[in-house]
Chain A
């Protein structure tokens, strides 16, 4: 029985699963809709009762931040134009010159063992598997599955996720790996000669065959520690994007090179 189960799991993880997923999604949707219709208003009422003052404070803070962001956007416009010109001349893909599709986060990861979110746009909006996703000031993850009107995004904190990054100075490249939804990001085996410290910012390297275009902010260094028994550093990283509070995000219309 164990052998049959194993073969079944292997079989279903190799492609047939995507068709099954689509079919089963259609079956479960009316049930989810019914539960949401009942549960959401109750949840909102309870949350509103308990957290009203927090919501007001958060709203004020957001207005302030929006004002500052608009100010910076106005200031940054001329720099952006210059950068766009240079990257075009050098034929380097840079996210600032790529178009994006805004989407709403509809579901959070349903399980303990994957860090994913579901979004409200899919193939009909031009979203394809492999496209990078950004929000809240940095890289969020990449699209791993699509339906006609939805997609699943694997967050960079997922244990199956790894991102090639470069330091702000552009001198060294590292691989940043996810450590799970609750544990953030990390990098291991960083050479001792690397000039790195808490606060150092990391962005995607965009090297040949990379999964992400260059220049997307990924994380900043939180702690640097020596690897026990090896002449390398271990890094604990803080994602640049706030992954705990995702409501809307942008899918970058960019596909990795084949």
Chain B
């Protein structure tokens, strides 16, 4: 576990950098695709519970340092997604080899649809009641589509990185 923590952290930091440098400027219908949420989700679907939670925390916290939204919100949403996905991943749901090809993308799309709403919902706990006004539905739809498309390559990357330490789960 300790051996794999270093490459997982490094890849996560690269994912955050790609999010900030590429995806945040590449808006679809004015919406940013949040790969910092997809990455821990993919880790979770690969059945790597602890690593997915770690990825969620690192990706969320580092992303939040660059956003002016309440600090920690992205991390909280990422943690929720990672935990939910890892529960499914442990049951083998969304496994790239055994499940049908569309299962992983569909689960990711559902998560991509729910994640922006979770973010806005979580923002109410920080007494911030204005976030829902800014294209929430567009963010949900675009992220669902993007997560559907990117889910399989991201899941392959997650499985590869997770296996670097030599053990799964």
Binding site for B on A (CB under 8 A): 5-6, 8-10, 12-13, 17, 20-21, 24-25, 27-28, 31-32, 34-36, 39-40, 43, 107-116, 118, 144-145, 152, 154, 158-160, 179-183
Contacts of A154 in B (CB 8 A): 68
One of A9, A32, A152, A179 near B125 (C-beta < 8 A): A9
Stretch at the interface among B13-21, B84-92, B147-155: B13-21
Interchain CB contact under 8 A, A145 and B18: no
Residue of A whose beta carbon sits closest to that of B74: A111
* CB-CB under 8 A for A108 and B24, given A9-B71, A27-B13: yes
Interchain CB contact under 8 A, A182 and B24: no
Binding site for A on B (CB under 8 A): 13-14, 16-22, 24-25, 30-32, 34, 61-74, 76, 79, 116, 119-120, 122-123, 125-126, 128, 130-131, 133-135, 138-139
Contacts of B25 in A (CB 8 A): 108
Taken together as a complex, chains A and B put the C-alpha atoms of A179 and B123 apart, in Å, by 17
Taken together as a complex, chains A and B put the C-alpha atoms of A144 and B66 apart, in Å, by 12
Report the minimal beta-carbon distance from A76 to chain B, rounded to whole angstroms.
Answer: 35
One of B18, B71, B134, B135 near A13 (C-beta < 8 A): B71
Residue of B whose beta carbon sits closest to that of A37: B21
Contacts of B34 in A (CB 8 A): 111-112
Taken together as a complex, chains A and B put the C-alpha atoms of A91 and B76 apart, in Å, by 50
* CB-CB under 8 A for A27 and B21, given A13-B72, A180-B133: no
One of B13, B24, B70, B79 near A31 (C-beta < 8 A): B13
Contacts of B62 in A (CB 8 A): 24, 27-28
Residue of B whose beta carbon sits closest to that of A111: B67
6 interchain residue pairs of minimum CB distance? A180-B134, A31-B17, A24-B65, A17-B71, A159-B130, A110-B24
Among A28, A116, A183, the most chain B Cβ lie within 10 Å of the Cβ of: A28
Residue of B whose beta carbon sits closest to that of A42: B22
Interchain CB contact under 8 A, B21 and A36: yes
One of A28, A113, A115, A158 near B20 (C-beta < 8 A): A28
Contacts of B72 in A (CB 8 A): 5, 8-9, 12-13, 17
One of B16, B122, B135 near A28 (C-beta < 8 A): B16
Interchain CB contact under 8 A, A116 and B14: no
Interchain CB contact under 8 A, B71 and A181: no
Interchain CB contact under 8 A, A111 and B22: no
* CB-CB under 8 A for A6 and B125, given A21-B71, A180-B134: yes
* CB-CB under 8 A for A181 and B30, given A36-B21, A110-B66, A159-B131: yes
Interchain CB contact under 8 A, B71 and A144: no
* CB-CB under 8 A for A32 and B21, given A6-B125, A27-B13, A181-B30: yes
Interchain CB contact under 8 A, B116 and A39: no
